[in-house]
Amino acid sequence: MAAEVRRMADEAAVRLGLEVVEVVFHRSGRFAQLRIDLDRPGTPGVGLDDCQRFSEELDPALEAHPELDFPYTLEVSSPGLARPIRTADDVRRNLGRRVAVEISGKVAGQSSFRGPLRGLRHGALVVEDDDAGEVLLPQDRITSAHQEIDPPRPPGRRERPRDTVTADSGKSQHQQEIEPGTGRVEDAPGPGERTRR
């Protein structure tokens, strides 16, 4: 069933110009949760409206699937800022976004880098570091790489909340949402309600 759900999710995402990063299905007793993380290459990534449109696009296919004949919660969100950047696909999706990278040893006299991700070259992440300029960070020396969680903001500009939507599958009896990168589960609003953080 997981492969079939992934296929349906991929098809819906392609129609909307999005990409499925991860599909997680978890069932415990009479509750089940289907979580789908979406992204769009480059900036600004995925927003609340994208998650809502995707949910509406995918819902008819899920409702018609014969093996999904039990109550479940569908959660659609972005992968979150703390999701590691490991693969070439992760790099492609994060091009142009601000990242934070830690390495073992030093490059250009430092081991911590922050700035826009420019790509992957010869087995190294290319980052336009705020202090050192363009640096090549060998992947085998990277200990941590993810989107920058606290990017610098221009003065007077408010922080943008993380977008997520938890949608009722029509069969849902309980709503929960998981904050990406934290693993923390919280009760969410009732069926079909949106949440903004």
- What CATH number is given to the structural domain containing 17? 3.30.300.70
Same domain membership, residue 167 and residue 73: yes
Same domain membership, residue 99 and residue 65: no
Same domain membership, residue 110 and residue 50: no
Instruction: State the Cα–Cα distance between residues 10 and 62, nearest whole angstrom.
Output: 13
Same domain membership, residue 70 and residue 6: yes
Assign 3-class secondary structure to the chain.
CHHHHHHHHHHHHHHCCCEEEEEEEEEECCEEEEEEEEECCCCCCCCHHHHHHHHHHHHHHHHHCCCCCCCCEEEEECCCCCCECCCHHHHHHHCCCEEEEEEEEEECCEEEEEEEEEEEECCEEEEEECCCEEEEEEHHHEEEEEECCCCCCCCCCCCCCCEEEEEECCCCCCCEEECCCCCCEEECCCCCCEEEC
- Domain total of the chain: 2
- In-domain check, residue 156: no
Closest CA to 145 of 78, 184, 87: 87
pLDDT values of the chain reduced to their tens digit, one per residue, 197 residues: 778 899 999 999 999 999 999 999 888 888 889 999 999 887 778 889 999 999 999 999 999 988 888 888 999 998 888 889 988 989 998 999 999 999 999 999 999 999 999 999 999 999 999 999 999 999 999 999 999 887 665 555 444 444 445 444 444 333 334 344 444 334 344 434 333 33
Same domain membership, residue 66 and residue 9: yes
Same domain membership, residue 166 and residue 69: yes
| Residue 153 pLDDT | 57
Same domain membership, residue 55 and residue 24: yes
What range does the domain containing 131 cover? 88-147
- In-domain check, residue 109: yes
- In-domain check, residue 184: yes
Residue whose token pair is 């949760």: 33
Same domain membership, residue 8 and residue 65: yes
Same domain membership, residue 125 and residue 141: yes
| Residue 17 pLDDT | 93
| Residue 138 pLDDT | 95
